[in-house]
Amino acid sequence: MTIGEAFRTGGLEIHSSGVTQDGAEHQFSVVYEDLEIAEVIGRGCSSVVLRARHVGTDRPLALKVINMFEKGKRHQLINEINALYDASHPTVIQFLGAFYREGAVTIITEYMDGGSLLNVLQQVGAVPERALSSVAYQVLLALDYLKRGKRIVHRDIKPSNLLINSQGVVKVTDFGTSAGLQSSFAMCGTFVGTFKYMSPERMKSERYSYSSDVWSLGLVLMECATGEFPYRDETTAIDLVQTIVDAPAPELDPSSFPAEFCSFVADCLRKRPDDRSPAQALLGAPWITGGGLAVNLNADLVSATANVKRWIDSPS
């Protein structure tokens, strides 16, 4: 609820100079007066994303401004802040704070200067397979962290929620529809997220868990590799749902892509959730390790980001 110049719900309190969770102030406190607002970089039905600069530190920031008069958006806001408040991982978007002003809450995150994978697909087309393996590696690191470190199912993995920067770093963003689970074996039962990328069990309103994000990643990789959404022939939502639920999972053309990549995508897109490998296991798949990535986390990230950066610098 809104009280004066603050928005309070559960253990969250967002006021004009910052945000607290269960009484603990977030360490990076930003007020509107410290910001130099630049251009709009994204827009939704009741939110807008702006690029900005923090005057005191000269740091570029992304600001998501959310209208608090819509109940559904308030719920997504709470999800996002709760998920990111104490998150700390190199492939998860960094949350830098929030403030309340004139009936809107502004969420502050780091700025990713390359935009989203959706932007990449729209501007340059398909992603080369070698660069894509390094993109997949970084997303898998994030999914593994969300499962084992945060007990969170993202529930909306798609190209527009995977951000990239000019250094080759890929980060998972937009946790508005995420769900926290009590353990690695817990299950969700609600229908949220972008239905195009939903797993079969979610389409059928069955219980689901972390493996639903792996299915979504499989579709994203196919789309990035081919430049087209895997279910492009389905023209209506009903047709799409029926095809995802009833038809065999889509497959890459083995005459166009290496066997290890085809096998990796097939492993993500197994119809039965229990048959899908978890993110931790997929990190050791031949398609990932064959890209020259080491076993050590930091060394892997250096190799993965370097691979993506080489592609960004020379996309042809």
For the segment 239-272, what is each residue's pLDDT rounded down to a tens digit? 889 999 999 999 999 999 999 999 999 999 999 9
Name the helix (H) or strand (E) containing 152.
strand 152-153
For the segment 281-316, what is each residue's pLDDT rounded down to a tens digit? 999 999 998 866 655 666 689 999 999 999 999 876
Asked whether the predicted pLDDT for residue 179 surpasses 80, the reply is no
For residue 125, the number of C-alpha atoms closer than 13 Å in the C-beta half-sphere is: 4
Give, in order, the Cα–Cα distances in Å from 156 to each of 18, 130, 179, 278: 27, 25, 10, 17
**Would you say 288 and 137 are in contact if contact means Cβ atoms under 8 Å apart?**
yes
Asked whether the predicted pLDDT for residue 4 surpasses 80, the reply is no
pLDDT, position 18: 79
Q: From the candidates 22, 34, 58, 156, which is the catalytic residue?
A: 156
How is the chain split into domains, by residue range? Answer: 2-110, 117-313
Active site residue 213: no
Percent of the chain with pLDDT over 70: 86
- Higher pLDDT: 276 or 14? It is 276
Q: Collapsing DSSP states into helix, strand and coil, what is residue 222?
A: helix
pLDDT, position 314: 84
For residue 290, the number of C-alpha atoms closer than 13 Å in the C-beta half-sphere is: 13
Rounded to an integer, what distance in angstroms lies between the CA atom of residue 176 and that of residue 195? Answer: 15
Asked whether the predicted pLDDT for residue 190 surpasses 60, the reply is no
Architecture category of domain 117-313 in CATH: Orthogonal Bundle (1.10)
For the segment 104-129, what is each residue's pLDDT rounded down to a tens digit? 889 999 999 999 999 999 998 999 99
Q: Collapsing DSSP states into helix, strand and coil, what is residue 166?
A: coil
Q: Is 158 part of any known ligand binding site?
A: no
The first and second tokens of residue 148, run together, are 């084992």
Q: What is the mean pLDDT of the chain?
A: 86
The first and second tokens of residue 123, run together, are 């501007």
pLDDT, position 113: 95
pLDDT, position 183: 39
Query: In the predicted model, what is the mean pLDDT of residues 157-171?
Result: 96
Rounded to an integer, what distance in angstroms lies between the CA atom of residue 275 and that of residue 211? Answer: 9
Distance of CA 26 to the CA centre of its chain: 22
Burial 134-170 (b: 16+ CB within 10 A, else e): bbbbbbbbbbbbbbeebebbbbbbbbbbbbbbeebbb
pLDDT, position 262: 97
Give, in order, the Cα–Cα distances in Å from 265 to each of 144, 178, 212, 225, 288: 17, 23, 14, 11, 11
Percent of the chain with pLDDT over 90: 55
For the ranges 9-13, 94-98, 190-194, the lowest mean pLDDT is seen at 190-194
Question: 163, 161, 212, 174: which is closest to 191 by C-alpha?
Answer: 212
pLDDT, position 185: 42
What is the CATH code for 2-110? 3.30.200.20
**Would you say 166 and 113 are in contact if contact means Cβ atoms under 8 Å apart?**
yes
- Length of the chain measured in residues: 316
